[in-house]
Amino acid sequence: MSAARTPPEPRAAVGTPIGLLAELTHRCPLQCPYCSNPLALERAGAELATEVWLDVLEQGAKLGVLQLHLSGGEPTLRRDLEEIVARAAKVGLYSNLITAGVLLTRDRLERLASLGLDHVQVSIQDASAANADRIAHYGGGHARKLEVAGWVRALGLPLTINAPVHRQNIDNLPAIIDLAVSVGAQRLEVAHVQYYGWALQNRQALMPTRRQVLDSAKLVNEARERLKGIVVIDFVVPDYYARRPKPCMGGWGRGSINITPSGKALPCHAAETIPGLVFANVRDERLADIWLHSEAFQRFRGTQWMPEPCRSCELRAVDWGGCRCQALAFAGDAALTDPACAKSSLHEAFTQVAEHAAAQPAPKFAYRNPRAGAHH
Ligand code: SF4
Ligand code: FES
């Protein structure tokens, strides 16, 4: 008896990387327990020199990159941020500074704006200053962020407020939305924490209940209606209670490149958790070669690598099989279907883990430890 066969597909055409996320440094004054940096932080001495970053921006622009996200850690810790912003403007990249804000002065922000910075994204941890400072483990941080948000608007720059939500701040969502409106943000990103790296270490301390998640979705929908024309609200749902996974990174190797402080080019920020993947470094190879040919970018590109049930699923070129890092973190194999998908044999166990974690008392945070990277 012959098994039903899925017709073979041509190898996915390689598109253009629209976005380049430059993790300029892993250093950061904050210690959020859901930080997207890896557990083994890269040390300051391993960071790329200014000239390498400037060259990477030129290469990126030639390759078709449109948006440059300057991130970290805390990107304002780089003394050459001005040069980087100026070069981005020169080569025609739209630059977005993703910052905790607490180290910025008004003068520096003004300088960055005059050099061509296009957009600022300020992260907040809550609407309540005391809780926000507790989550970030940084006294007085929340008040500084609000001040910085005010400067951003006063300088005429577009502002996005980035609010990661979880069980320890989600009940303040109405106040978080009000805060974004009051500081004049054009965009608010309400992003449920995703569980890799530091957030996975803190899963029980962060995991909301299903009820909290449903309530947050309802609230966001109502606010979107009410605040039309005032603020755009993006909403990132938590995978653990979903039935279909997110198209992580818009598909592996389809539209974005992340570059770590030491120059490793990654298809996503958590790709280094996947054992066996080798990452090319922008110190040694041209960005175009890395994008087109490097093993890491090819590994999960397109649909050819997929196992069942993804392989014959009608959504395989919509969600691209979900998130490789989540498949690894939960199923132990990055090449399996994301367990957030209801078609995965692990989906039920996945949901149960979330429900169990959310039902337990929240343990103390394991804060992102700045010394963890000392050994690189
Ligand atoms: Fe997506 Fe795979 Fe689930 Fe289909 S089976 S919805 S492609 S994760
Ligand atoms: Fe790596 Fe989703 S975070 S693929």
Q: Enter the tokens of residue 371.
A: 């010394």
Tell me the pLDDT tens digit for each residue of 356-370: 999 999 999 999 875
pLDDT computed for residue 370 by the predictor: 58
| Dihedral angle sign, alpha carbons of residues 143, 145, 151, 157 | negative
> How many Cα atoms are found within 13 Å in the side-chain-facing hemisphere of 262?
14
Which band of pLDDT confidence, cut at 50, 70 and 90, is reported for residue 284? Answer: very high
- Mean pLDDT on 90-96: 98
What is the spatial distance between Cα 224 and Cα 186, in angstroms, rounded to a whole number?
12
pLDDT computed for residue 375 by the predictor: 34
Residue nearest atom 8 of ligand 1, based on CA coordinates: 321
- Mean pLDDT on 251-277: 96
What is the spatial distance between Cα 83 and Cα 8, in angstroms, rounded to a whole number?
48
- Mean pLDDT on 46-56: 98
Residues 6+ apart with CB under 8 A from 71: 21, 22, 23, 24, 98
pLDDT computed for residue 13 by the predictor: 66
Mutation choice for ligand 2 from 23, 279, 326, CB with most ligand atoms inside 8 A: 326
What is the spatial distance between Cα 371 and Cα 357, in angstroms, rounded to a whole number?
28
- Mean pLDDT on 39-44: 90
Ligand 2 neighbour 248 (Cβ under 6 A): yes
- Mean pLDDT on 73-89: 97
Tell me the pLDDT tens digit for each residue of 137-190: 999 999 999 999 999 999 999 999 999 999 999 999 999 999 999 999 999 999
Phi, psi of 11 (to 5 degrees): -60, 135
The ligand 1 site (C-beta within 6 Å) comprises: 244-245, 309-310, 313, 315-316, 319, 321-322, 337-338, 341, 343
Locate the ligand 1 atom nearest the alpha carbon of residue 309 and give its number. 5
Which band of pLDDT confidence, cut at 50, 70 and 90, is reported for residue 376? Answer: very low
Report the separation in Å between the CA atom of 347 and the middle of ligand 1, taken as the mean of its atom positions: 12
Residue 49: pLDDT over 90: yes
Q: Which amino acid is at 291?
A: W
Residue 17: which of 323, 251, 236 has the closest Cα?
Answer: 251
DSSP conformation class of 281: B
Locate the ligand 2 atom nearest the alpha carbon of residue 196 and give its number. 3
Phi, psi of 120 (to 5 degrees): -130, 135
pLDDT computed for residue 12 by the predictor: 53
Average pLDDT, the chain: 93
Which band of pLDDT confidence, cut at 50, 70 and 90, is reported for residue 7? Answer: very low
Residue 374: pLDDT over 80: no
Ligand 2 neighbour 329 (Cβ under 6 A): no
Please say whether the beta carbons of 100 and 122 come within 8 A: yes
Tell me the pLDDT tens digit for each residue of 184-233: 999 999 999 988 889 999 999 999 999 999 999 999 999 999 999 999 99
Residues 6+ apart with CB under 8 A from 258: 21, 23, 265, 266, 267, 268, 269, 271
pLDDT computed for residue 10 by the predictor: 44
What is the spatial distance between Cα 338 and Cα 341, in angstroms, rounded to a whole number?
6
Predicted model pTM: 0.92
Locate the ligand 1 atom nearest the alpha carbon of residue 245 and give its number. 8
Phi, psi of 369 (to 5 degrees): -100, 115
Q: Which residues are 71's β-sheet partners?
A: 23
pLDDT computed for residue 15 by the predictor: 85
Residues 6+ apart with CB under 8 A from 231: 177, 180, 181, 185, 186, 187, 188
Locate the ligand 2 atom nearest the alpha carbon of residue 325 and give its number. 1
Task: For residue 40, give the 3-state DSSP assignment.
Answer: coil
pLDDT computed for residue 351 by the predictor: 94
Angle at which helices 347-359 and 210-226 cross, to 10°: 90
DSSP conformation class of 162: E
Please say whether the beta carbons of 73 and 47 come within 8 A: no
Cis-peptide, bond into residue 64, ω within 30° of zero? no
Residue 3: pLDDT over 50: no
Which band of pLDDT confidence, cut at 50, 70 and 90, is reported for residue 106? Answer: very high
- Number of Cβ atoms within 10 Å of the Cβ of 114: 12
Tokens 């309540």 belong to residue? 128
- Top pLDDT among 91 and 39 is at 91
Tell me the ligand closest to 324's alpha carbon. 2
Ligand 2 neighbour 323 (Cβ under 6 A): yes
What is the spatial distance between Cα 230 and Cα 186, in angstroms, rounded to a whole number?
7
Q: Which amino acid is at 30?
A: L
Task: For residue 273, give the 3-state DSSP assignment.
Answer: helix
290: left (phi over 0), alpha (psi -120 to 50) or beta: alpha
SS3 content of the chain, % helix, strand, coil (to 5): 40, 10, 50
